Amino acid sequence: MNKELKDLYLKFEEKYFYQKEYLSSINQFLNSISNYYETLEDNNKLSIIESLLIPDRIITFKVPWTDDLGNKRVNIGYRVQHNNAIGVYKGGTRFVKDLNESVLKFLAFEQTFKNALTNLPLGGAKGGSDFNPLNKSDLEKKRFSQSYMIELHKYIGPNIDVPAGDLGVTYKNIAHMYGIYKRITNFHDASFTSKHISYGGSLLRPESTGYGISYITEKAYKLYNDESLENKTVVISGSGQVGINTAYKMRELNAKLIAMSSIYGVIYDENGIDVELVDKLNRENKNIKEYLKKHKGAKYFKDTKEIWNIKCDIAIPCATQYELDINDATKLVNNKVKLIVEGSNKPSTNEAIKYFYDNKIVLVPSKVANAGGVIVSNLEMEQNQTFKKWDSLTVDNKLKEIMYTTFNNLYQKSLKLEDKYNLEKAANILAFKYLYDAIKLQDL
């Protein structure tokens, strides 16, 4: 890493030593732009980068609510508005136990770059609460969601910050948040995405991240291997909304899905995963091991890490951040994997990413691969603001076009850098250039 950038990182490390997720993200970014940084002819270039690393604002507030027994409870609510140099703040809202500022700063930072890479006029943000929706009644989740929005509404709006759904946030949660937002503000506007289709949501919004991952996979495999996805073996970790919709679309693109995982373990079915059954088990919160009752030739592994031991052409981690470490990367490379596509937000550790790169294995970074959600959120905002509603084919075609274009821009950048296997580096430099120019020109 360039000495000036290294000194900047050490400054952040000293100040935020307890925020490992945030530090890991900015360390990886600074490493990837080091050579490019030296080509910039600007006396203020270091201060512009420092400005980009620091969120514009971090909003923290208490969220009081009442449980079904009448007890008063309190959680912490957050919104990290990272950067709006390119457009309004945009990013998801998650309700997850132990959610903290470090995770949200890392996610908001990554979201800023993700949004820049799509060439859409969107800045980056992320928010949520340490509220755990598991084992909560519908009424408890409603009371919490409304209380969360009573405070958050002060900081959002169609021209300021447009939240969406994320982990732990369902259509019901969004409906309750948007409903109380309208009662407080008297506005029905594009201030929230991931809404239900009945009151302004877009078709394919739930499927969008998974579909986008699949289109990126198709494009990347074709460019690097000059082959279609037909009969290429695929494993997908995670069978929630992102993983399951990736599975459906990959099957539609004629890939052969042979393994999926959930919190309960891994199913390996060399004849091809029964996606509908996995989806049903997941929605009913049943152990994925139940799959064996219908498909007796399949295999079950309790340890979710076993999915990376399965020989495949393509691996798509869709479960959570940092789920794929150096040991998993070694197994995949030894089994001659050809493509890694990051479905969840930064599922690979920095060590794993470097190992793939050193072994010339193509890894599509999450800031590109899972951009489908924010792309269709932008399409939802466009429909809301023009009072239109598009059919699913129109939305799907627009999503596919933007995903293909985004990856093609990334690929061309990697060729210019003469480093076509380091897509993480190409993505960071490409997004950084957009953001750097916007910050510099506006003197932000």
Question: Does 336 have pLDDT greater than 90?
Answer: yes
Both structure tokens of 271: 């004849």
- For residues 310 and 301, the answer to whether their CB atoms sit within 8 Å is no
- Which uninterrupted H or E stretch holds 148? helix 138-152
For residue range 283-335, what is the model confidence (pLDDT) as tens digits?
998 999 999 999 999 999 999 999 999 999 999 999 988 899 999 999 999 99
Is the confidence at residue 121, as pLDDT, over 90? Answer: yes
Lookup: tokens for 250 = 């990959």
Nearest-CA neighbor of 344 among 236, 247, 235?
236
Task: Give me 235's structure tokens.
Answer: 């494993």
- Number of C-beta neighbours around residue 409 at 10 A: 17
Strands 72-83 and 57-66 turn out to be antiparallel
Helix (H, G, I), strand (E, B) or coil at 329: helix
- Residue 343's pLDDT is what? 95
Please give the mean pLDDT across all residues of the chain.
95
Are the C-beta atoms of residues 93 and 127 closer than 8 Å to each other? yes
| Separation CA 145–CA 156 (nearest Å) | 15
Runs of H (alpha helix) within 226-365: 241-252, 275-283, 291-294, 326-334, 350-358
- Torsion sign, CA atoms 203, 208, 212, 218: negative
pTM (2 d.p.): 0.91
CA distance 127 to 100: 10
Q: Which CATH number fits domain 208-369: 3.40.1370.10, 1.20.1250.20, 3.40.50.720, 1.10.3720.10?
A: 3.40.50.720
CATH of domain 55-188: 3.40.50.10860
Cα 125 from Cα 132, distance rounded (Å) = 21
Q: How many alpha carbons lie under 13 Å from residue 289 in its C-beta half-sphere?
A: 9
Query: pLDDT of 232-289, one tens digit each?
Result: 999 999 999 999 999 999 999 999 999 999 999 999 999 999 999 999 999 998 999 9
Catalytic: 126? yes
pLDDT score for 190: 83
Nearest-CA neighbor of 125 among 95, 165, 93, 99?
93
For residue 407, is it left (φ>0), alpha (ψ between -120 and 50) or beta?
Answer: alpha
Q: Which pLDDT belongs to residue 444?
A: 85
Same fold, 55-188 and 208-369: yes
pLDDT of residue 345: 85
Q: CA-CA distances (angstroms) from residue 174 to 112, 165, 385, 387, 440?
A: 22, 7, 19, 20, 36
pLDDT for the residue 48: 94
> Residue 265 is encoded by which pair of tokens?
């373990």
pLDDT digits (tens, 9 = 90+) for 355-412: 999 999 999 999 999 999 999 999 999 999 999 999 999 999 999 999 999 999 999 9
CA nearest to 85, candidates 137, 114, 123? 123
Selection from 41, 201, 37, 12 nearest residue 106 by Cα: 12
| Options 90, 105, 114, 126, the catalytic residue | 126
Spatial strand order of the sheet with 233-237 comes to: 299-301, 265-268, 256-262, 233-237, 314-317, 339-341, 362-364
Where exactly are the structural domains of the chain? 1-52, 55-188, 208-369
Q: Are 30 and 45 in contact (CB under 8 A)?
A: no
Query: Which amino acid appears at position 81 of this protein?
Result: Q
68, pLDDT greater than 90 = yes
For 385, half-sphere exposure in the C-beta direction (CA atoms, 13 angstrom radius) is 14
